[in-house]
Amino acid sequence: MIQTLARRLTNAIRTIPAKRDWVWAIALLLIYGAVFLPIGLASGFLRWHLPSSLWLAIGVLVRALLMPGLSEELFFRVLLIPHPLESVSLTTRGGWIGVSWISFVL
């Protein structure tokens, strides 16, 4: 089991998305931003505020990347869900996706 988790972590770190994957991700991010940024600003959930210093802004960005960003992705996506290179059935993969999603929500 430890070997499987280590292999999943290694595969996740070594996998570099193809150009097509980057384009797809950027397109989805732009669509998401175009839809939800105006809603967040209009509702007051998001506010435009310039940081008092550049170092403060960099610190916030780094902390947001590490926790919750990177740590949650590593646990709920990389370690719990089988890697595409692992030969598991669609039912097994779907089950682990469900476990991961429920664990994340709870």
pLDDT band per the 50, 70, 90 thresholds, residue 69: confident
**Domain assignments of the chain as residue spans, ordered by start:** 2-105
Lowest mean pLDDT among 30-39, 78-87, 96-105: 78-87
pLDDT band per the 50, 70, 90 thresholds, residue 29: very high
Q: What tokens appear for 2 in the block?
A: 């430890």
Average pLDDT over residues 26-31: 98
Q: What share of the chain is helix, strand, coil (3-state, %, to 5)?
A: 75, 0, 25
Average pLDDT over residues 76-88: 87
pTM of the model: 0.64
Placement of tokens 């980057």 in the chain: 22
